[in-house]
Structure 1
Amino acid sequence: MATILENIKLPIKRNKKIPIYVVEEHNDALQFIYSAIGGKKLPVEGTVLLHLDAHPDMLIDRKLKGEDARSGRKLLPLLQIENWIVPAAAAGHVARVVWLRPPWAKQFSDGTRKFHVGDHPETGLLRVDSKEPYYLSDALFSTLLSNKRELTLTVEELSCETSKEDKMKNLLAKIDITQPYVLDIDLDFFSTGNPFLGLYENINLYDRLLPIFDFPLPESDDVETLEKLVESREQQLQELENLFEHLDKNNSLDSYTGNKSHLYNMVNELASVVLAEAKRLNEVPDWWAVYAGGCTRDQDGLPYHISTKEEIKETVDKALTPLLQSLPVPVLITIARSTDDGYCPPHQVDYIQSLVLESVMKVYDTDEPALYYLNVNIST
């Protein structure tokens, strides 16, 4: 029995050199983690993900079913950049996530927490029992879970200040990285854009979306209160999705047959302003882009910090490299560019990538990086 358990926890094979995979969209990193599991370089269960990013990427598609999360590689086409980690945890492949954030990213408070991910018994949809605002805002909270898995999330800041000896020792003690683990780096950790800030900026669209998509958190966090909140939030999000789906198809809400609620009135008023601006620009509005921007407006919106070239190099030299030198060796390394979607500034991404690769390859014995983003149409 002990041998069986050891085989579950430990990888059976080791890479001669650490592979590095560079992707564009961050969710594409997961296929290489799954391949490492299939190749017995990672265990089927219990992997640690060390995630350096300006965003947690730990949401769940509200319509993703638990059975899909456990469907192996069939899951991959269903994922997006913000929701690829928790489904892997639902399948048991990832047991712990360590999110190292830059100083300007504060979607979670620092520290360690445990929660469960599993299936809602009535709908089969994947949900978590975490009371974090991050999950409440997407109506993802539920205490009623089947097929549940425990997930440990540790959040800590990584900055140039961390390189000071006592602070690095303190950080290492808090994150407690053990093998086997995957080192996962998003280049927007070093400089972070917000693509929605430039969407119809002449009419201040991003600010206009706030009162439409925002919702107040309750003072109490008892389960009954949160369940009512989630039900109300789900209705709000579904109504907004219906409204923007109608706009996408008809470019107007004139023929909308749904509930003419206060939310309808706010979206209708916004639509008239957006249509006028789009007409001025001689273009057709991208209503799903407007909707996606609105979905980021809850809880203070997305992080935004465009670093200088000097700041980027200093962060690599004084934060990333000392961290890597202090860690055990990872099984594999994934790097996301995140520039096509505007999160890593396009004019900086190649510079950041070169510095990060130089740092990683200096510290570890690695293969030549596999630049997957240059061959995104290959079969996976």
Structure 2
Amino acid sequence: MAKIKKYGTLPLYIVEDHNEVVPFIHRAIGGKYLPMSDIIFVHFDSHPDLLIPAELKADDIFNKDILYESQSIENWILPLVYAGHISHVVWFKPPWCDQITDKTIQFDVGKCYSTGFLRTSCKESYFVSETLYRPVEKLLNRKTLALTVITVQPTNWQEKHPTEQHNGEHSNKEETCQPVNKMALTAEEDCRKNSNVQSQGKACEGDMKRKCVNGENSTSDKCQITQDTECPTKKQRLDIPQHGSHGNSSQDSLSPLSAIFVSKLENLFEDFKDRHIVLDIDLDFFSTKNPFKELYSSRQFQLLQELYTYTKPADDTDEAITKCVEEREAQLCQLKQVFLSMGDNPERIPKHERCELIQTLVDDLKLTFGDDGVDFGLLHDAGCTCDDTELPHHVSTQEEITLLIDSVQELLCHMYKPTIITMARSSNDDYCPPDQVDIIQDQTLEILQDLYLKLNLTASY
């Protein structure tokens, strides 16, 4: 039973697991809050959540009972794209994530004509390693998605983490999907042209018909709202030390984001004017674990990675990528059958070309969990995460959490007011550390209330 508290007109829905957000969005679409299509989805998370349920038939997207049953925390967004609701996803990721490098790309999501499953034409390794790629000509009823990936890196993060390189700044990785030039995130020249740009309180604009007053004759920077409620602009917020993390009087030292980064945001968000925005925040954006690394020992995880090793395509052609997908599908299917069989009979390892490695892994696991304590289904799920990138693992200090909280607040100042907000705690599965999730949630709610004044909060967890 959801606990409902009334805070105002902007709906905010908090759940435990991210796939539980989908029913809420479905209820909002076509109703009071959201249109049927052309929604901008702004996603703060340590994970893209852009996978597809492997055996979800595209036609079942429109059967809500099957859809809700098929989805999990990592694969709930693209079904909304195929249903025609979302046209652009902006994934804001913290500095330690490298699943997809910073860029804007465009690709299709559609129905595979030979299998009927939902698949994508994107050649990013993130999709290929999960066997979700299909050539665009093999997809029916295609829906086009623009994906923008941006790393949120506070200005002084690098000096605190000298060995942690921002993967989007100097990446030489070739973009394998069609680039969208009008939203390319290389705005250094625009930054120089707009070096004096200051926030006009875009978060305070939108359907509440707010008018920002920053004229020469204005005695103070404020947003006048039809309710006669004052909304602080970015400048006012930065003049106040946020959450006790700042003590300097200089506004530049208080700003957690660089001028170049802010200019990129201004250019990106300008294209979202007069469009409906869903703001989605996973609290593991601020601190995250790889739960499999904590479940298994270093040796067990290393054996698992060796067993599920992923070989990249030879080149970027459709033929090479298709061959890679077919080989990866066969590999994962065989291993799934092995571990499903062992779930019924743990003492017998089915015939497999790497049975010696499987035996070594299982023997080691039994030393940890006992003869009957190995969860072979979970073991396969963990193995499927072993490709050319690992699940992110970065348990943040309180100082780091506060720095990222301040950066998100600064960032949202430049974005037009969203239509609805969704939030996932992700603590039951340990992706967001359970001992930190409540503090992170409280700080996140504090900045949202500061930005949007009042919220209509539904806490369902």
TM over 0.5: yes
- 1: CA distance between counterparts of 2:88 and 2:363? 46
CA RMSD of aligned residues (A): 1.8
Residue 67 of structure 1: which of 59, 63, 71 is its match? 59
Cα shift at 1:295 = 1.2
Q: CA deviation at 1:84?
A: 0.2
Q: How does 1:112-127 map to 2 (within 5 A)?
A: 112-127=104-119
| 1:14-163 map, 5 Å | 17-72=9-64, 74-143=66-135, 144-161=138-155, 163=257
**1:1-380 equivalence runs, <5 A:** 17-72=9-64, 74-143=66-135, 144-161=138-155, 163-174=257-268, 176-178=271-273, 179-201=275-297, 204-254=299-349, 256=350, 260-279=351-370, 284-317=373-406, 319-373=407-461
CA offsets per residue over residues 165-191 of structure 1, 9 Å max, x none?
332122332454442010000000001
| Partner secondary structure for residue 168 of structure 1 | helix
Based on CA coordinates, which of the two structures has the bigger radius of gyration? 2
The structure that is helix-richer by fraction is 1
Would you say the 8 A contact 1:49–1:184 is kept in 2? yes
Verify the 8 A CA contact 2:40 2:88 in the aligned structure 1: yes
Residue 268 (structure 1) shift: 3.0
Distance 1:326 1:238, change over 3 A: same
TM-score (structure 2 length as normaliser): 0.73
Look up the SS of the partner of 2:281 in the other structure: strand
Greater displacement, 286-295 / 79-88: 286-295
Structure 2 portions without partners, runs of 5+: 1-6, 156-255
Q: Provide the C-alpha distance between the structure 2 equivalents of 1:123 and 1:20, rounded to a whole number of angstroms.
A: 38
* Residue 32 of structure 1: how far off its partner (Å): 1.2
Matched residues in 1 for 2:88 and 2:354: separation? 39
- Rounded to whole Å, the distance in 2 between the matches of 1:69 and 1:134 is 22
Q: Is the 8 A contact 1:188 1:343 kept in 2?
A: yes
Q: Give CA deviations for 1:132-172 in whole Å, capped at 9, x if unaligned.
A: 00011011111110111111100011132262333212233
User: 1:308-351 deviations in whole A, cap 9, x for unaligned?
Assistant: 1111112112x111112211110100011001111100110000
Which letter does structure 2 place at the counterpart of 1:163?
L
Q: Deviations over 1:261-292 (max 9, x none)?
A: 3234432332122123322xx86112222211
Q: Deviations over 1:70-102 (max 9, x none)?
A: 334651222100000011111111111000000
Match of 2:263, as an amino acid?
Answer: K
Residues 17-69 of structure 1: per-residue CA shift (max 9 Å, x gap): 11111111011111111111142421111111000000000001111110112
Q: 1:233-279: CA deviations, max 9, x gaps?
A: 1111111111111122222334x3xxx23234432332122123322
Query: What is the rounded CA distance, in whole Å, between the counterparts of 1:137 and 1:366 in structure 2?
Result: 43
SS at match of 1:62: coil
- Work out whether residues 339 and 376 of structure 2, in 8 Å CA contact, stay in contact via their aligned partners in 1: yes
- The amino acid that maps onto 2:330 is Q
Q: CA deviation at 1:226?
A: 1.1
CA contact (8 A) 1:199 1:205 kept: no
Tell me how far apart the structure 2 counterparts of residues 61 and 267 of structure 1 sit (CA, whole Å): 26
Residues 265, 411 of structure 2: 8 Å contact kept: no
Amino acid in structure 2 at the alignment position of 1:208: L
The SS at the match of 2:104 is strand
Q: 1:343 to 1:172 in 2, by over 3 A?
A: farther
Q: Is the partner of 2:134 in helix, strand or coil?
A: coil
Q: Given that residues 17 and 365 in structure 1 are in contact (C-alpha distance below 8 angstroms), is that contact kept between their aligned partners in structure 2?
A: no
Over the matched positions of the two proteins, sequence identity in percent amounts to 38
